[in-house]
A and B are shown apart, each in its own frame.
Chain A
């Protein structure tokens, strides 16, 4: 079944043709690949650091831009066409889109870790097209209906909330635990909010930008911390230990927080994060920065820390994220600072790249 479309319907798309080279292209309306697919008319798309990174550097790790790709992966939209076997959504339904569909056949997929599938088709990760088009085709079980009272911007923000849900899942956060989150960018503040929603007794946000700390205070964090700058000539590791000690003292964290979520990727934060975690506690690396850092490994060893990585999301994260937003526990609308029309997509990317302090989450409206 298909919603009526104009015979001359096309698929305007925002394409990354090569490093730093973006353009609008009219592509063909995508077809359903099998009876489980749906076609979504994209309504809103948020911009993520990874989108900007591919635009500016053309690669993240082993994912290298070798041919043009449509950008964008944090989207919401309306279902306009469904395959014959689709049961979970109907034409006309408003959905949040999970942008990475795994192969379903490999050992990772079969063991419940589909975020690790080598053959995942992930929107806007080369060589796969993203969601900054009028239409996007995706497997129906990777679309999640959003209730009527959630708007499409909130629907698009479900993606970073799902990232935060996965991070707390990896951390195995339990009620009444104490949590320190390094980074008060979108992921950091969402981790703080999810941790509170999931029963953490104390959530402390850390950042070097005061305005971000101010926002975090008003969002999910119980307390915030601006670490002192290192004095000249001080060994960075010593400084990290100082920061950790200050954190513990200032916020009465005793031997340290149960859980540390590292959402910056910055080496000084990684080091401070390891030093501050209590013995037997859990440290989760979510932020991405330098690929190789100086890591306090002996501390990790003798304090018997659980150190884990977190990437994207797994089963249950999207439904949990929709519920956190729909129930009002997390007000994602407050993260949006700038809005652009589809035709202004390049300006939106330039704004995110400029990295101004007052720019937080930028969203791009879909093609009307």
Chain B
């Protein structure tokens, strides 16, 4: 293709630039080429932009940013059967190897050879074109916009967390953190039949939004011990013997500690949020209360399709989470705004034709 692929590239911490790169070639007959239309920004994108690394993932060479995208299929490989040019799709940005034990047991999010957009060394989706295998693209029904399609990625993160938590109808659920992932966890928990959903945050505005959006209760943190906070949570929100499920979408040490105290015996705790690598953890309470404690990482089989279905059926709405849109040329401004904590979800439009 004579056309070029304008891309938004992170050179190293703090330095981004635009570059015309080659249009990706379809490496397999099962691949499709997508014209990217909208890309949301995640805390991890900002983190790479600011620090040039997350843990052992270090940006050693320039890397295209972005991974929360939707687009329109441009062309398809010869073995593609379910998509055609013009189809609008949500893009699942991580392609596993399909051959290792984790992949074959159904946990491809844990694949050691995962190629994930905008996790070094793999380029991300903030470009005009991006290629993916057919089974990592999910057709959007007519009544869902491409903007909503870009929210499928964080929604899938929420779906995966709530599935890890095994929320059942009638459960009481507390979600620490009312950022995009926390909000979406509340929405998914509601769709899964949770009868009580408590949102916790230090930001009043975010909590007020969460209560209008999907939570049934809000809890204001105070300066107190985690044990006291946990006990107060149970009292203030009428949680009886404690919550059935608690999800952390904050990564904050005090939230994690509070959660262990706010769970009922036999309850389930899921770590979704990312903060300090190591924290002080109430392990004896976890032990004697026989809690199920799990991690949650990205998304795996069935999560993306469930996210699309929840949006398509109207059981979850994401339109209200989109608080800003900028053109491709203003991408850096979006990063600056997200870093400053403005709004909920900022979208970057695709390259103009």
Residues of A within 8 A of B (CB): 36, 104-107, 109-114, 139, 141, 314-316
Contacts and interface: CB of A to CB of B under 8 A. Distances in A.
B135 A110 contact: yes
Given A111-B302, A141-B99, A315-B101, A105 B133 contact: yes
Given A36-B99, A105-B30, A105-B98, A112 B133 contact: no
Contacts of A112: 104-107, 301
B99 A110 contact: no
Contacts of B30: 105
B68 interface: no
Given A113-B106, A141-B99, A107 B133 contact: no
B134 interface: yes
Given A36-B99, A110-B108, A315-B104, 18 more contacts: A104-B103, A105-B133, A107-B301, A107-B302, A109-B104, A110-B106, A110-B135, A110-B300, A110-B301, A111-B106, A112-B104, A112-B105, A112-B106, A114-B104, A141-B99, A141-B104, A314-B105, A315-B105
Contacts of A36: 99
Contacts of B300: 110
Interface in B320-351: none
A105 B106 contact: no
A195 B262 CA distance: 41
Contacts of B99: 36, 104, 139, 141
Contacts of B106: 110-113
Contacts of A139: 99
Contacts of B100: 141
Given A111-B301, A141-B99, A105 B105 contact: no
Contacts of A106: 135
30 contacts: A36-B99, A104-B98, A104-B99, A105-B30, A105-B133, A106-B135, A107-B301, A107-B302, A109-B98, A109-B104, A110-B103, A110-B108, A110-B135, A110-B300, A110-B301, A110-B302, A111-B106, A111-B301, A111-B302, A112-B105, A112-B107, A112-B301, A113-B106, A114-B104, A141-B100, A314-B104, A314-B105, A315-B105, A316-B101, A316-B105
Nearest to B106: A112
A104 B98 CA distance: 6
Interface in B79-98: 98
A314 B105 CA distance: 8
Contacts of A113: 106
Contacts of A315: 101, 104-105
A355 to B, nearest CB: 36
Contacts of B108: 110
B101 A105 contact: no
A36 B105 CA distance: 19
Contacts of A110: 103, 106, 108, 135, 300-302
A314 B301 CA distance: 16
Interface of B: 30, 98-101, 103-108, 133-135, 300-302
A139 B99 CA distance: 9
B188 to A, nearest CB: 19
A113 B134 CA distance: 20
A113 B302 CA distance: 13
B134 to A, nearest CB: 7
Contacts of B301: 107, 110-112
Contacts of A104: 98-99, 103
Contacts of A114: 104
Given A110-B301, A111-B302, A141-B99, A105 B104 contact: no
Contacts of A141: 99-100, 104
Nearest to A113: B106
B163 to A, nearest CB: 12
Contacts of A314: 104-105
Contacts of B107: 112
A141 B135 CA distance: 21
Nearest to B79: A105
A290 B99 CA distance: 36
A277 B135 CA distance: 41
Contacts of B104: 109, 112, 114, 141, 314-315
Nearest to B135: A105
A272 to B, nearest CB: 34
A113 B105 CA distance: 7
Nearest to A110: B301
Of A110, A315, A316, the most chain B CB neighbours within 10 A belong to A110
Of B104, B133, B300, the most chain A CB neighbours within 10 A belong to B104
Nearest to A106: B135
Contacts of B103: 104, 110
Of B30, B105, B108, B134, the most chain A CB neighbours within 10 A belong to B105
Nearest to A319: B101
Of A36, A109, A113, the most chain B CB neighbours within 10 A belong to A109
A158 B301 CA distance: 29
B77 to A, nearest CB: 12
B229 to A, nearest CB: 39
A300 B105 CA distance: 30
Contacts of B101: 315-316
Nearest to A87: B99
Contacts of A111: 106, 301-302
A69 B103 CA distance: 31
A110 B299 CA distance: 12
Nearest to A105: B135
B135 to A, nearest CB: 5
Contacts of B133: 105
A99 to B, nearest CB: 16
B348 to A, nearest CB: 29
A315 B105 CA distance: 6
A107 B108 CA distance: 12
Contacts of B98: 104-105, 109
B302 A105 contact: no
A105 B134 CA distance: 9
Nearest to B302: A111
A110 B100 CA distance: 12
A113 B106 CA distance: 7
10 A-B pairs closest in CB distance: A112-B106, A111-B301, A104-B98, A315-B104, A110-B301, A315-B105, A111-B106, A112-B105, A141-B99, A105-B135
